[in-house]
Amino acid sequence: MKRIVETVFVVIGLLIYGIATALSFVFLNIQDNEGWRAEMQSMLNQDPNFEQAQLSVDQIMQGVASVVWVIIISALLAIILGILAIVYLKGNKKPKAAGIILIITGVVTTVGTLGFGLFGGLAFLIAGIVALVRKTKQPIEGESSSASY
């Protein structure tokens, strides 16, 4: 049995997690840009509610960078497990294992990416449910097949 539907949903999820990873790396590169930091500082200085003693741009960027690394690690984990699930689905080797991996990965990485991987997680969840629900066709007794000759 071909598992095209599951594979398509996994590939969609992989693309979404790949985009999330790429955007996270772009953000990490932007945070080191001095022009961008200066603009952030000027925006904070214009805000009447912001007190200079509270937070500096460096502290804000360090906190955001920590969150971005969590998103990157979660998205890369989702990509690796998604590829593993495709391998299990290919040739209908282990569809139940692939379904369980996809469901758990979809839920955990959606939370791990703080919602940025929501659509990728949904794609993994749909693929996992379909992989678990779809039954393999059993040959009817008494029918001859070309493989038995």
Q: Can you list the residues of the chain whose pLDDT is less than 50?
A: 53, 149
The residue type found at 34 is E
Nearest to 128, CA basis, from 73, 82, 91, 92: 82
pTM > 0.85: yes or no: no
- Four-residue CA torsion sign, 108, 134, 89, 100: positive
Half-sphere exposure at residue 59, Cβ-oriented, CA atoms within 13 angstroms: 6
At 55 the pLDDT is 63
| Number of residues that make up the chain | 149
At 13 the pLDDT is 93
